[in-house]
Amino acid sequence: MLRSSGKSAVIRDMRRATVLITLLFTVALVLPAAAGAAGVNVYKKGLVTVGDLPDGWTAEPADTTTADNDAAKEIAACVGKPVVAKKKVVTGDDISDPTGTFTVTSSIAVYPSAAVAKQQFKVYQSSKYAGCAKKYFETTPFGEDGPLPTAVITDEVELDTYGDRSAAYAAQAVIPNPDGTELQVTSIQAAVLRGKAVARYQFTSVGDEVFDQETGEKLLAQLDKRLDKAKL
């Protein structure tokens, strides 16, 4: 697990930083087509809800317009895999703890077939993935005409197996603020392949605390059981 050093007081910028880190992991969410009514509720069983987390956590609708197609294509091209269009994407809420230090997000992309989903999942399994994400992150300004992230670290995280296959990565970076302070963010990304779907879970934190991996894995196990029952 990657662990951050130092704590920024600029908690209000967490969502902005989370969006930037999310660009590292948008391969499974690129080119979404609107999900039809049929079957959507089944896929939603694999999304994290505020009820899955302790009392005091709050939820708000996710901003589904932030996916960066160019970023995903560039990272996939670096890895050496094509980006595949989906039939459906369902997205969960952005769920935050009372202090605003931690945020949990989730989404599920559904592909035309299990074979296509398996092929797309190979992007996450590639030994090149962490390096390609790091390269993109280090050269992408933070916001329009903003600073470049510094002290970027990306690395694979050991994860229990969920669904058919699972993989996880951690990204950590320092975001310089105009007032001379720094915002340090760590984001742990888990991807789970299940049939023709790829579920994506992201645990983001600001400052010197990192989302507890044991807690995260218990949550993934709980979601895995729900998907088993839904036969996703």
Across the strands, what pairs with 182? 176
129-138 and 114-125 helices cross at what angle (nearest 10)? 70
| pLDDT at residue 147 tops 80 | yes
Q: Which residue has the tokens 């951050």?
A: 4
pLDDT in tens, 201-230: 999 998 888 898 889 999 999 999 998 887
pLDDT in tens, 93-114: 999 999 989 999 999 988 888 9
- Look up the pTM and report it: 0.81
Contacts of 231 (CB under 8 A, 6+ apart): none
Predicted local distance difference test score (pLDDT) of residue 67: 44
Across 70-74, average pLDDT: 73
> What is the chain's mean pLDDT, rounded?
78
**What are the backbone angles phi and psi of residue 149, rounded to the nearest 5°?**
-60, 150
| Chain centroid offset of residue 42 CA | 21
pLDDT in tens, 7-61: 333 333 334 444 444 434 444 333 333 444 446 678 789 999 999 999 999 999 9
Q: Tell me how far apart the alpha carbons of residues 69 and 19 are, in angstroms, rounded to a whole number.
A: 13
Give the CATH class of 11-230. Answer: alpha beta
pLDDT in tens, 159-201: 899 999 999 999 899 988 888 888 888 989 899 999 888 999 9
HEC string of 166-201 equals: EEEEEEEEEEECCCCCEEEEEEEEEEEEECCEEEEE
Predicted local distance difference test score (pLDDT) of residue 35: 40
Predicted local distance difference test score (pLDDT) of residue 12: 36
Predicted local distance difference test score (pLDDT) of residue 102: 94
Q: What percent of the chain has pLDDT over 90?
A: 35
The residue ranges of every structural domain in the chain are 11-230
